[in-house]
């Protein structure tokens, strides 16, 4: 039986607040240095302070917020932060691919095919948000097929930030068909079961993504 792409846990109030604050930070609606006041956020979101504290803790772990004692403020992301995220992503993804090709390559192929179908539909309609979700689903397939729980846990921690960065970079992206073909080519290499050429293309693929996000998000 094919496993779901990643284990899904119910989104609690803290997760929901974190999702919205993360989006505001990455789209720069919340600027670097802005104080996150629990009482005000609780009022804005219509929740108690507990979920606000949970959200701040989540975003602190992701490096988007700095928390010192009773105060917390937005850190935001610099070009160097984007480089860190994408080099970490490349290391994790290469390991996940290597493990997945060991015993679960057929499962990986099935997951990639579903993601490519979703990307194709999104590219045809120019739906950048749907394309971004399918793009992240494509890459999450490596972790799901690896059946490496701790590796998947690490990816789950940084996936929301990376997905939001990709969405920001994709808003003005007019090359969705070209991006789709890049994923089709990568999936084809994976189907050969030869790790080395697939890993070389994956590293190049992720580095192109890093440079595009830096250009669109951080101007670098």
Residue 7: per-residue pLDDT: 39
Exposure string for 70-82, b = 16+ CB within 10 A, e = fewer: eebbbbbbeeebb
Residue 4: per-residue pLDDT: 38
Concatenate the DSSP letters of all residues of 17-29 into one string: HHHHHHHHHHTTS
Residue 2: per-residue pLDDT: 39
* Other Cβ atoms closer than 10 A to 160: 20
User: What is the CATH number that goes with domain 13-74?
Assistant: 1.10.10.10
Residue 28: per-residue pLDDT: 84
Query: Quick one: CA dihedral 95, 167, 24, 45, positive or negative?
Result: negative
Residue 127: per-residue pLDDT: 92
Answer yes or no: are the C-beta atoms of 166 and 136 closer than 8 Å.
Answer: yes
Split the chain (220 residues) into runs of 10 and give each run's mean pLDDT: 39 88 89 92 93 94 86 89 95 97 94 97 93 95 96 93 87 81 97 96 95 77
What is the number of helices (H) and of strands (E) in the chain? Answer: 9, 2
Question: Given this chain, do its domains 13-74 and 79-218 carry the same CATH topology?
Answer: no
User: In terms of DSSP H, where are the helices of 27-148?
Assistant: 38-45, 49-61, 79-103, 105-125, 128-146
Residue 1: per-residue pLDDT: 33
- Residue whose pair of structure tokens reads 């690490």 in the numeric block: 154
Does CATH number 1.10.3720.10 belong to domain 79-218? Answer: no
Residue 173: per-residue pLDDT: 62
Answer yes or no: are the C-beta atoms of 141 and 112 closer than 8 Å.
Answer: yes
Residue 169: per-residue pLDDT: 80
- Residue whose pair of structure tokens reads 């739906």 in the numeric block: 127
Q: How far is 55 from 37, CA to CA, in rounded Å?
A: 12
Q: Which residues pair with 66 in a beta bridge?
A: 73
Question: In the chain, what are the domain boundaries?
Answer: 13-74, 79-218
């Amino acid at each position: 039986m094919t496993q779901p792409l990643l284990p899904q846990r119910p989104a609690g109030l803290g997760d929901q607040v974190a999702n919205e604050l993360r989006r505001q930070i990455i789209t720069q609606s919340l600027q670097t240095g802005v104080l996150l006041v629990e009482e005000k956020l609780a009022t804005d979101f219509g929740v108690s302070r507990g979920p606000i504290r949970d959200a701040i803790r989540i975003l602190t772990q992701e490096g988007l917020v700095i928390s010192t004692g009773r105060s917390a403020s937005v850190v935001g992301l610099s070009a160097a932060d984007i480089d860190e995220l994408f080099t970490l992503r490349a290391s994790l993804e290469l390991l996940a691919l290597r493990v997945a090709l060991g015993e679960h390559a057929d499962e990986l192929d099935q997951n990639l095919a579903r993601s490519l179908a979703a990307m194709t539909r999104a590219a045809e309609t120019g739906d950048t948000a749907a394309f971004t979700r399918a793009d992240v689903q494509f890459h999450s397939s490596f972790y799901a097929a690896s059946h490496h729980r701790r590796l998947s846990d690490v990816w789950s921690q940084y996936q929301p930030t990376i997905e939001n960065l990709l969405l920001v970079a994709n808003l003005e992206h007019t090359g969705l068909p070209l991006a789709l073909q890049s994923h089709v080519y990568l999936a084809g290499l994976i189907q050969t079961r030869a790790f080395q050429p697939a890993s070389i293309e994956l590293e190049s693929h992720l580095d192109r993504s890093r440079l595009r996000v830096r250009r669109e998000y951080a101007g670098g």
